[in-house]
A and B are shown apart, each in its own frame.
Chain A
Amino acid sequence: MKSTDLVLRGILLALILLLGFISNSRAVENSLCFGCHQDADLSRVDAAGKKISLYVSEVRFKSSVHGDLSCSDCHTRIKDDAHSAGGQKVRERVNCGACHEEQNREYLKGLHAKTDPKTSTRAATCSDCHGKHAVYRANDPRSMVHPSQVGKTCDRCHSDKDFTRLHALGPTSPGELFKESVHGKTGEVTCKNCHGTHDLKSLIDPKSSIFRSNLPHTCGECHPEVMQQFVESIHGVLAARGRGDSPTCTTCHGIHGIKAKVDPESSVNERRIALTTCPQCHAAERISQEYGITRGLVKSYYDSFHGLSYRGGDTFSANCASCHGVHDIFPSSDPRSKIHKDNLQKTCGVCHPGASANFAKGKIHTVASLAGRDISEKAVGWVRLIYIILIATVIGGMVIFNAADWVRKTVDRKH
């Protein structure tokens, strides 16, 4: 037998022994810890006088993704009276970043890594979302970050009304809204799909997935065709340029509580389009003034046959989107617009088969007025004036005539 062979065998034996020793020593060490920490009543009182449980379930820890690690892999330094001397003062909490470097780097860029100046603690730490001893892989249904659990995990803070108010987080119960939403009901879409995970950023951070101009792209991850239409539309272009009053996806669809458009509760339901969805901006003076849009758009629609019938619940009657489009809205001057003069005949023809070229001519959004610039507005304004005078005179005359007749006949009868 060659000596090299012997050496190799020796190394192999040493490795096996070492491995055995390591695993053995881990088991020994962990059982040492669990000797005390298995006690469900084990607790200590922190500086604020709050009781903190020190119980760790051995079974759950063993089943976790970290079950093979030793306690001291994470709890590197523990020093207090109860533990053996020689330990060092804990300066840092358990540092996951020691192993999970990349995630830690991302986390430190994110909003949850920010430190609360009052308490000098981070907004949320690893364990707030992943748990402490019972950490599982994200695709394990037991994991706090499994799609089925994410909502609950985020809700621990974000649906706590006092907490959200204290930290001015805005929506007080996004989780409840989301649960009822079309996204929530899929069971696949969760908070993290839109908000991101470790590097989750603030609403006002231009890098945030929910920053105004980034929203279309965030939604576009799942709705790419709609996104493509929208970013080219007048709304999309203006939103991308940072116009705060230009709509993005959420302006019309809602935020956490987005519903399918066939749902009567949906903010883009057919019955709402011309009542709230578009008018929320287009009935506003500031919008029409700023962008030079015809005034009285909504009012003129409500006065038209389309608007009157629509308001009565007619589902065949045209609403805003019927003529202007949905995600692909352009100004009438744009040849791509459904209401561009070259396309209008076709647009009208959708509901009015046989609509002539002449059909599509003339102002649509007219408001009756004697001072109107459009001939239609003037004509209707005059008709209104003449008829109101006529009605007041004729009917008023009849009322007076009849009243006098009644009085005379009644008086005569008494004699």
Chain B
Amino acid sequence: MKKYVRMTLNERVQHLNLIINFAILVVTGFALKYSGATWTTPITDVPAGMTFRGLLHRLSGAAIVSLGLYHILYMFLTPRGRSLLVDLVPRWKDALDVWETLKNNFFINRPPKEIKMGRFSFREKFEYLGLVWGTAVMTVTGFILWLEVEWLKYFPRWTFDLFRAIHFYEAVLATLTILVWHFYAVMLDPDVYPMSWAWITGNISEHEMKLEHGLHLERLEAEERMKGSGSTEDLPTGQQSMFAGEVNEERTSVRRFTRRLREFNERMRNWPGV
């Protein structure tokens, strides 16, 4: 069965980084607001737990900001990043896709109409934009809270209170979005249940491609036909394109991941130094 690259190793590491730091931020953040709740006892019952919580929150915040900066560079400076960026721009077709999906879902289209979506569906574009927006808001307000003394040299206290409130409510919005929107798409959705493995293997199956990214699949297949090669399966390692969507070798990416790690180790061992 053919598989298609959805996330390169680099992107998966970015995603993993985001998972870890987002989770830490959610837990350490809401542990402050709801410090009386039972689930916070592992933090509040430990000596200096609350102090450690604050430190960890800032540390993770800094990590996520660094990740964001790295991601901006990645999106603008690498060819693959730029191609992702172009494909992530919302277009009129996305609005039509939403409309048709709603008609399908509320049984207005009988039988349901097949919707062919591009490399990123409206669902993914919405989430990506939400993530960018949320990260921007949380970064700005977070730094204001962090650098309270500096901020209050130039601005009145009420602005600080305002940003503090925004930081909290935006956090609620972001967390619920992940729980409701993202977790449905990658877990509860009957098409992928129990889970989409793309965040680990980097691949999705042809079937999933057809369901979610029909248009993109057609384009890839057209490109393939033009190149005259049926598949890139027989290309030697290292010559495979980094561009997502290209047909990938029929090998699990986990194995590829370990191989890359080995290669990386080897390279570090033989590193001559600067």
User: How far does the alpha carbon of A395 sit from the alpha carbon of B35 in the complex, in Å?
Assistant: 25
Taking the complex as formed, is A412 at the interface, i.e. its CB lies under 8 A from any CB of chain B? yes
Q: In the complex, are the beta carbons of B112 and A412 less than 8 A apart? A: yes
Q: How far is the CB of A72 from chain B (nearest CB, A)?
A: 70
Q: Which residue of the partner chain A has the closest CB to B145?
A: A305
Q: In the complex, are the beta carbons of B161 and A379 less than 8 A apart? A: yes
Binary contact track A330-372/B, C-beta < 8 Å → 1, others 0: 0000000000000000000000111110110111101010000
Q: In the complex, are the beta carbons of A362 and B105 less than 8 A apart? A: no
User: How far does the alpha carbon of A388 sit from the alpha carbon of B32 in the complex, in Å?
Assistant: 20
When distances are taken between beta carbons in the complex, the residues of chain A under 8 Å from B85 are none
When distances are taken between beta carbons in the complex, the residues of chain B under 8 Å from A383 are 162, 165-166, 169
Number of A interface residues in the complex (CB < 8 A) = 49
User: How far does the alpha carbon of A64 sit from the alpha carbon of B16 in the complex, in Å?
Assistant: 86
A358-B153, A408-B107 known; A413 vs B190 contact (CB < 8 Å): yes
Taking the complex as formed, is B260 at the interface, i.e. its CB lies under 8 A from any CB of chain A? no
User: How far does the alpha carbon of A375 sit from the alpha carbon of B162 in the complex, in Å?
Assistant: 10
Q: In the complex, are the beta carbons of B152 and A409 less than 8 A apart? A: no
Q: In the complex, are the beta carbons of B105 and A401 less than 8 A apart? A: yes
Question: Which one of B40-48, B215-223, B241-249 contacts A?
Answer: B40-48
Q: In the complex, are the beta carbons of A352 and B149 less than 8 A apart? A: yes
Which of A352, A376, A384 is packed against the most chain B CB atoms within 10 Å? A376
Which of B33, B152, B170, B176 is packed against the most chain A CB atoms within 10 Å? B152
Q: In the complex, are the beta carbons of A355 and B157 less than 8 A apart? A: no
When distances are taken between beta carbons in the complex, the residues of chain A under 8 Å from B9 are none
When distances are taken between beta carbons in the complex, the residues of chain B under 8 Å from A401 are 102, 105
User: How far does the alpha carbon of A404 sit from the alpha carbon of B168 in the complex, in Å?
Assistant: 30
Partner of A409, one of B32, B177, B191: B191
Chain A, range 301-331, C-beta contacts under 8 Å to B: 305, 308-309, 311-317
Q: In the complex, are the beta carbons of A408 and B153 less than 8 A apart? A: no
Q: How far is the CB of B95 from chain A (nearest CB, A)?
A: 14
A395-B176, A406-B190 known; A311 vs B35 contact (CB < 8 Å): yes
Question: Which one of B66-74, B180-188, B266-274 contacts A?
Answer: B180-188
Q: In the complex, are the beta carbons of B170 and A375 less than 8 A apart? A: no
Q: In the complex, are the beta carbons of B156 and A398 less than 8 A apart? A: no
When distances are taken between beta carbons in the complex, the residues of chain A under 8 Å from B40 are 312
User: How far does the alpha carbon of A399 sit from the alpha carbon of B180 in the complex, in Å?
Assistant: 7
Majority secondary structure, B binding face: helix
Taking the complex as formed, is A166 at the interface, i.e. its CB lies under 8 A from any CB of chain B? no
A356-B152, A380-B162 known; A362 vs B112 contact (CB < 8 Å): no
Q: In the complex, are the beta carbons of A361 and B162 less than 8 A apart? A: no
User: How far does the alpha carbon of A313 sit from the alpha carbon of B32 in the complex, in Å?
Assistant: 10
When distances are taken between beta carbons in the complex, the residues of chain B under 8 Å from A394 are 173, 177
User: How far does the alpha carbon of A314 sit from the alpha carbon of B51 in the complex, in Å?
Assistant: 6
When distances are taken between beta carbons in the complex, the residues of chain A under 8 Å from B49 are 312-313
Q: In the complex, are the beta carbons of B105 and A407 less than 8 A apart? A: yes
When distances are taken between beta carbons in the complex, the residues of chain B under 8 Å from A413 are 190
A-B contact pairs, 28 of them (CB 8 A): A308-B33, A309-B35, A309-B50, A311-B35, A312-B31, A312-B49, A314-B51, A315-B51, A356-B153, A358-B156, A362-B156, A375-B156, A379-B161, A380-B165, A383-B162, A384-B165, A384-B169, A387-B170, A391-B169, A391-B176, A398-B184, A401-B102, A401-B105, A402-B181, A405-B184, A405-B189, A406-B189, A406-B190
Sorted nearest first, the 3 A-B pairs with minimum C-beta distance are A362-B157, A312-B35, A387-B169
Interface residues of A (CB under 8 A from B): 305, 308-309, 311-317, 352-356, 358-359, 361-364, 366, 368, 374-376, 379-380, 383-384, 387-388, 390-391, 394-395, 398-399, 401-402, 404-410, 412-413
Interface residues of B (CB under 8 A from A): 31-33, 35-36, 40, 43-45, 48-51, 53-54, 101-102, 104-107, 112, 148-149, 152-159, 161-162, 164-166, 169-170, 172-173, 176-177, 180-181, 184, 188-191
